[in-house]
Every structure is written in C-alpha cells, then in structure tokens.
C-alpha cells in the first residue's frame, strides 16, 4: 500500500516492518532550561518515503521535543519565534503562574516573528502534559505546533521502559501535503471540527515500540489532535490506568483494553507485556465499526522475566489531589448552544446581538450563555479561594472537550478523578468543580480547536 492509498483509505494502516528511529524529540534529557524554536519546514511522517510535508514545528521535530522538567523546581523554556507570523506557547494542564499561561492578549503580548519569550515557571504537579501554540491555533496546531511535556516525579513507579504515545490526526491532500486550503472551512467549524485522514503516533505513520515479554512499561498517552476524539484499544490485557490528565488516580485495569481520549486529554498506563516473543500487539483506533491499527508493540525474542512484577504501580499524590470541596460553592451556569443542526438563531458577538447569518459572516457558530467568542467581561470574577461549580449544559448535538486553563477540576460525573479537559456528549450535563486559588485571567474553551475559533471561548478572573 503506498501513501496515496493511505490517504484514500481514509486513515493510517499499520505499516509492516520497523519504522522505529530515534527522533531527536524523543531523546531522554533533563535540563533546567530548554529552548524551543517554532519554524516552518519539511518533515517526513513516513521515514521510508522521500517526499516530505510542509509543516510548522518546534525544533524541527513533530511532535516537538519531549520536555522533561522536575516537579516543584523552576524551569525556564526559552521560546524563539522563527515563523513568519506571531505565536505563543500554552502549557496545557499546568497549574502555573498566570503570566506564563501563554494566552496572547490576555496573559502576555504576542511573540512576534524574530522575537523571544522566556517561559519561567514551577510546576507543582508531576505528570504528563503538553504544550501547543495558542495563536490562530486552528491553523498553527493543524500544521504541527505541539509537543509533550513531562513533569517528573521524584519517586516514579519502577518500570522497564517509559514511552510517549502522542496520537494526532492530519488532513493530507493528494500531494501528501497538509491540506491548507480547507483550513478555516465553516463546515468543519460548525460540525465536529477538522477531521483528518492520516493518524500518526509521535509524528510517525505506523510507530512501533519494541518490548519484551514480561516487561513493565509506562505508557503516556496523549491526544494532540485538533478535533478528533480517539477511541483506542490496547491489545495487552494487563493495562492499568494510573493517571488522568496528569493527575494520579487509584490504578484500575482497562476494560477490554479500551480507552477514549478527547482532544487535549491524557492518560498514563502501566502495561505488563504478556504477548509472546516474536509477535506483534497492535494499538488500534476504533472509528464506528472500523478498526485501524495506528501503532504496535513489537515483542522481541527475549523474555524479560517469567513472573510479572508486583511492585506497586500507584503514583504518589500530587498537590492537586489534595483538593477538598466545601458544601457551599458558587454556581456558574454554562449553556453551550449552536453548531450545525442546532437551534441557535442569534448570539452576542463583540458586544452586538447578531442573527445567525451575521454570525456566520463573522465565522461564529457556537455560543456560551448566548455569547459567541471571547467576551470583554469575564464569565465570572471571584476572590481567591472561592469554590466554583461550573454547571455545563451541552445543549446541542455535538460532543465537546471543555478545557479550563490553570486548574484541575472534579467532574461530578466521575468524582474519583481530576481533569483539565472533560468530554461532554450531545445534550450531556455535568459540573466541573474547583477552588479558584490561582490569581489571574484564565480561559475556558472547547478543545475541539475549530469550536474554540468559532465561538466556544470565555474567561474568568481570580483576584
């Protein structure tokens, strides 16, 4: 199967043989300071193919380099913008000082072409996070500006190998270039967002992980796609979830190996490899009734150990886990309206009430509480320490991945875990609860990036 037929088939197919190579981005380094340069260039998603794809990337790698920083210590990440357009970097899921949150026009000025910005912060919580552009995200992210950030525990569970699995979704054209003509298409924005036709893991088509029978691996899974919800299946029966969106949970075994990650969401697993030597154990993406292998464990011919490890796999609690919600909380209703097949016929945009035709003229099709796009006034403004219950009513026929900057919240639909990004299916309701203890201006938006661009964006203030 050549690459064109990949595109035609609509999704990635497992490529035979090993495509494993050491990406510069996946090197194991732990510096106190880092440099990230965003630029345009060419990248090969399939190393066997000579033709390359025009992208935007960090340090010429897709995804950008895996940044590993220590928990509770200050790190500096120097961002150089070598693009021909302004940009910024947001550290998704990190509870850091507001000025470092990377939202242009709200927490910092745009980083103009040729400029440098130092991101300097101390992450309180260990875990798996990511970083991505927060400027014209629907375009810059679709072209590749994202990477993985790991905040390392001082006492991680003992594993034989620690892997990143960053799954992404790309829309390619027949020339194997990213389809930029359809960027900004209102049809995508009013439906489920931009869906691609090529799935990569760590920037590779058909990524393989070499493991041995009896090995214990940590598997850090991230969905860094613009809009595709990924339903994935791991075909190793001993796979346990140990963290969600970076925060430790009481470990539990995956049911039938199934795990769903909405855009922006992460999950760390501990997998004890039980497949036999010289076999292949695929990791599959499920789309409706179709199964697409997107990566695989290649079990080599060694046996690591006959008896599986039985040391504890639970992660040490993060400070985030210490959250205690009071009985009294400030209730903030958040109604989500709009989208294709919706009933929305008007909304306020930039202070003006507009009918649906004018909204579409302005590329707006979604509204929070009847307001499309970033309002001038915050959704709420509270004193530091106020307990918030954001009561979401997803009153439309589309799924949405609701992300709150700078916080982890308890979702009343799943109170045993903390999240920074929560999936709501059509017509679903749920409350996201947290203590507003970090001062500043913070965004709330849908992480289907096309929805964010076309209305699903608001903010709150903690003083």
Which residues in this chain contact ligand C2O in the complex, by CB under 6 A?
A: 90, 92, 132, 134, 264, 403, 405, 443, 445, 447
Closest C-alpha among 323, 313, 436 to residue 383 = 436
Q: Which two tokens stand for residue 235?
A: 């075909």
Pick one of 134, 228, 445, 451: the residue that binds Cu ion (CB under 5 A).
451
Binding partner at 443 among Cu ion, ligand C2O, none, C-beta below 5 to 8 Å by kind: ligand C2O
92/218 with CB nearer ligand C2O: 92
Q: Which is nearer to Cu ion, 91 or 368 (CB)?
A: 368
**Cα 228 from Cα 207, distance rounded (Å):** 19
Which stretch, 112-120, 168-176, 271-279, 445-453, contacts Cu ion (CB under 5 A)? 445-453
Which residues on neighbouring strands pair with residue 217, listed in sequence order? Answer: 161, 271
Alpha-carbon gap, residue 168 to 165, rounded angstroms: 10
Query: Which single residue brings its beta carbon nearest to ligand C2O?
Result: 92
Cβ at position 382, least distance to ligand C2O in Å: 20
Q: Which is nearer to Cu ion, 443 or 448 (CB)?
A: 448
Nearest to ligand C2O of 97, 309 (CB atom) = 97
For 28, the 3-state DSSP assignment is coil
Q: Smallest distance from the beta carbon of 392 to ligand C2O, in angstroms?
A: 17
**8 Å CB contact between 202 and 224:** no
- HSE of 65 in the Cβ direction (CA atoms, 13 Å)? 18
String marking each residue 362-401 x if it binds Cu ion according to CB under 5 A: --------------------------------------x-
- Of 129 and 209, the one with the shorter C-beta distance to ligand C2O is 129
**Do you find a cis peptide bond into 305, omega within 30 degrees of 0?**
no
Work out what residue 405 binds among ligand C2O, Cu ion, none; the CB cut-off runs from 5 to 8 Å by kind: ligand C2O
DSSP reduced 3-state for 330: strand
Our CB check for ligand C2O shows the closer of 91 and 297 to be 91
CA gap 242, 249 in Å, rounded: 5
Residue from 150, 448, 457, 462 touching Cu ion (CB under 5 A): that is 448
Q: Does 132 bind Cu ion (CB under 5 A)?
A: no
Quick one: what does residue 400 bind among ligand C2O, Cu ion, none, with the CB cut-off 5 to 8 Å set by partner type? Cu ion
What's the number of CA atoms in the CB half-sphere (13 Å) around residue 8? 5
Q: Is 448 helix (H, G, I), strand (E, B) or coil?
A: coil
φ, ψ for residue 193 (rounded to 5)?
95, -175
446 binds, among ligand C2O, Cu ion, none (CB under 5 to 8 A by kind): Cu ion
E strand spans, 12-139:
33-43, 53-58, 64-70, 75-81, 89-92, 116-121, 127-133
Question: Taking the complex as a whole, how short is the minimal distance between the CB of residue 228 and Cu ion, in angstroms?
Answer: 12
**Burial (CB count <10 Å: 0-12, 13-18, 19+), residue 124:** middle
CB 143, min distance to ligand C2O, A: 16
Measured over the CA atoms of residue 20, residue 25, residue 448 and residue 450, the dihedral's sign is negative
Cβ at position 62, least distance to ligand C2O in Å: 17
Distance CA(186)–CA(343), nearest Å, equals 17
Cα–Cα distance for residue pair 263/449, rounded to 1 Å: 9
Provide the minimum distance between the beta carbon of 462 and ligand C2O in the complex, in angstroms, as a whole number: 17
- Of 446, 449, 453, 457, the one binding Cu ion (CB under 5 A) is 446
**Which partner in Cu ion, ligand C2O, none is near 451 (CB below 5 to 8 A by kind)?**
Cu ion
Query: Residue 318 or residue 364: which is nearer to Cu ion going by CB?
Result: 364
What's the closest the beta carbon of residue 173 comes to ligand C2O, in angstroms?
Answer: 26
Q: What are phi and psi of 292, to 5 degrees?
A: -120, 115
- For ligand C2O, the closer CB: 408 or 445: 445
- Judged by the rule CB under 5 A, the positions of this chain that interact with Cu ion are 400, 446, 448, 451
């Amino acid at each position: 199967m050549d690459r064109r037929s990949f595109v035609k088939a609509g999704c990635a197919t497992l490529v035979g043989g090993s495509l494993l190579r050491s990406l510069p981005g996946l090197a194991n380094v732990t510096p106190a300071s880092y440099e990230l340069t965003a630029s345009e260039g060419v990248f090969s998603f399939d190393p066997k193919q000579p033709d390359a794809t025009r992208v935007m990337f960090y340090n010429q790698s897709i995804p950008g380099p895996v940044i590993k920083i220590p928990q509770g210590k200050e790190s500096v990440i120097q961002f150089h913008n070598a693009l021909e357009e302004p940009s910024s970097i947001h550290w998704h899921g990190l509870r850091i000082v507001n000025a470092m949150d990377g939202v242009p026009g709200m927490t910092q000025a745009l980083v103009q072409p040729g400029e440098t910005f130092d991101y300097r912060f101390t992450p309180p919580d260990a875990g798996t996070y990511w970083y991505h552009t927060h400027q014209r995200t629907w375009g810059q992210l679709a072209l590749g500006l994202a990477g993985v950030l790991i905040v390392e525990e001082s006492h991680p569970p003992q594993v034989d190998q620690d892997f990143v699995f960053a799954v992404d979704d790309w829309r390619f054209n027949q020339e194997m270039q990213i389809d930029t003509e359809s960027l900004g298409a209102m049809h995508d924005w009013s439906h489920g967002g931009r869906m691609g036709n090529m799935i990569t893991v760590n920037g590779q088509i058909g990524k393989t992980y070499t493991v041995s029978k009896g090995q214990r691996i940590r598997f850090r899974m991230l969905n860094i796609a613009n809009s595709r919800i990924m339903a994935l299946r791991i075909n190793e029966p001993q796979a346990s979830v140990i963290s969600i969106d970076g925060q430790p949970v009481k470990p539990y075994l995956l049911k039938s190996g199934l795990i769903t990650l909405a855009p922006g969401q992460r999950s760390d697993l501990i997998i004890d490899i039980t497949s036999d030597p010289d076999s292949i154990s695929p990791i599959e993406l499920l789309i409706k009734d179709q199964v697409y292998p997107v990566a695989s464990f290649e079990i080599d011919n060694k046996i690591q150990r006959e008896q599986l490890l039985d040391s504890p796999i639970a992660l040490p609690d993060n400070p985030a886990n210490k959250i205690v919600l009071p009985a009294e909380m400030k209730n903030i209703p958040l109604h989500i309206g709009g989208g294709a097949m919706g009933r929305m016929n008007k909304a306020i945009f930039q202070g003006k009430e507009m009918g649906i035709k004018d909204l579409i003229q302005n590329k707006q099709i979604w509204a929070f509480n009847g307001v499309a796009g970033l309002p001038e006034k915050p959704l709420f403004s509270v004193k530091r320490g106020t307990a918030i219950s954001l009561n979401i009513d997803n009153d439309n026929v589309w799924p949405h991945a609701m992300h709150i900057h700078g916080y982890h919240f308890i979702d009343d639909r799943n109170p045993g875990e903390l999240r920074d990004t929560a999936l709501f299916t059509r017509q679903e309701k749920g409350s996201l609860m947290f203590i507003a203890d970090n001062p500043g201006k913070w965004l709330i938006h849908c992480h289907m990036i096309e929805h964010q661009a076309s209305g699903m964006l608001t903010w709150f203030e903690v003083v």
